[in-house]
Amino acid sequence: MSRVSRRTLLTGGVGLAGLGVGAAAVGAGREMSAPQPEASTLPFYGRHQSGIVTPMQTHASYIGIDLLDKADHQALHGILRMWSQDAANLTQGKPGFSDTEPELATSPARLSMTVGLGPGAFTSAALAARRPSWLAPLPAFAIDRLQEQWGQTDLVVLVASDDPMSLAHAVRAVIAPVRRRTRLRWVQQGFHHGRNLFGQVDGTVQPADDRHDDLVWNDGAEQKWLAGGTSLVLRRIAMNMDTWEALDRRGRELSTGRTLDNGAPLTGVDEHDEPVFTATRGGVPVIPESSHIARAHRRSDREQFLRRPYSYDSPPDSGLIFATYQRDPLVQYVPVQQRLSDHDALNEWTTPIGSAVYAMLPGPKEYLGETLFA
């Protein structure tokens, strides 16, 4: 990518012919990329963004940002190109465009920077027709107690790494350069352990890898520019640790429908055994109908989505940052969430306090969002 100045990017000086981006604007697209990534690096360029189906990193920060002028699509264009410049370098262990602490960039530890757009990013007349039909707030669920401080934003950037210092450095590279054109709404920080704070093995049920093209990645049928992208549903779920810890082990397992030691369904032995919901003992279902596993179990082939849960612990608030990726959240995610809202035993100890939906951009050939502005 050509080294266009930060001021030029944010003031729209790059220029758009209608929504087309000329060859002079994109410049030498691979100038800033690393040669061959080492084992500790993830690719920045490609059909899909890293950080979605990538094996989960240990630490993550979700950054929610609002545009100060939603009608200025050129400002959005500049922000995406600016982030692309830094992400192309930082993910490969090289300093960002104007990095004041370049030494902190040398150990990316599988760093990824993944960008998505909320409904507000499509406010301008130039982009309004390019908003996916599903990109809107989720339906109201009875269990929700949503707080504005964790609500929908115009932009989201997921920065993840196995090293917390590398992560913090990259988060700064996202926030600092755009503060004059944006407002930081929230940063949600989480860690991945394999179990959540309730001690449960988390993220067991996932689509098969060979179904990602069908269930996760957008095919561009509705919005051609989104081919290779996906949707993100981001939910912040507070967990009442005090009342959960007062529950005995058997009660916890009946609530989830799985054993706590290895996450196996109550009718199985291993974590990935298929649950048998018709099994009974003394005329009573072995897996209660109200258990989380029973309510979340898909009723159709389309009710599948990629789960990427990160725990957070910010006393007095603790819980789960629950992220799902799917081609269409209305078809794949919402029916499952509605059943959980209607009657899930875990609702006694969990409360959704944040909710947002984003269109996650396709992977870049030159820069993030290039197909949107083409």
Report pLDDT digits (tens) over 99-155.
999 999 999 999 999 999 999 999 999 999 999 999 999 999 999 999 999 999 999
Look at residue 242 and tell me if it is in a domain.
yes
Report percent pLDDT > 70 for the chain.
90
**Residue 3 DSSP label:** -
How many folded domains does the chain comprise?
A: 1
For residue 39, pLDDT over 80 is answered with: no
Q: Is residue 37 part of a domain?
A: no
pLDDT for 349: 98
Residues 6+ apart with CB under 8 A from 366: 1, 26, 29, 84
Q: Is 238 contained in some domain? A: yes
Q: Which residues pair with 179 in a beta bridge?
A: none
Does 6 have pLDDT greater than 80? no
Using pLDDT thresholds of 50, 70 and 90, give the confidence band for residue 15.
Answer: very low
Nearest to 138 by CA among 355, 360, 308, 325: 355
What proportion of the chain, given as a percentage, has pLDDT over 90? 88
Q: How far is CA 182 from CA 122, 153, 179, 185, 316, in A?
A: 15, 11, 5, 9, 29
Computed over every residue of the chain, the mean pLDDT equals: 92
d(CA 1, CA 10): 16
Considering the domain boundaries, does residue 119 fall inside one? yes
Residue 34 predicted with pLDDT over 60: no
| Residue 247 DSSP class | S
Asked if residue 322 has pLDDT above 60, the reply is yes
Assigned domain for 157 exists: yes
DSSP of 186-242: EEEEEE--SB-TTS-B-------GGGHHHHTS--SSS-GGGTT-EEEEEEEEEE-HH
Q: Examine residue 193 and state whether it is found in any structural domain, yes or no.
A: yes
| 312 domain-assigned | yes
CB atoms within 10 A of CB 347: 18
Q: Name residue 374's amino acid.
A: A
3-state secondary structure of 256: helix
Report d(CA 269, CA 261) in Å as an integer: 11
Q: Shortest CA distance to 349 belongs to which of 235, 190, 241?
A: 241
Cα 274 off chain centre by: 27
Q: How many residues does the chain have?
A: 374
Give the predicted TM-score (pTM) of the model: 0.91
Q: Does residue 284 surpass a pLDDT of 90?
A: yes
306: containing domain: 59-126+140-372
Instruction: Give residue-wise pLDDT tens across range 202-237.
Output: 999 999 999 999 999 999 999 999 999 999 999 999
Q: Which residue has the higher pLDDT, 98 or 184?
A: 184
C-alpha–C-alpha distance, residues 152 and 146, integer Å: 11
Q: Is residue 222 part of a domain?
A: yes
Half-sphere exposure of 89 (CA within 13 A, CB side): 24
Does pLDDT of 263 surpass 50?
A: yes
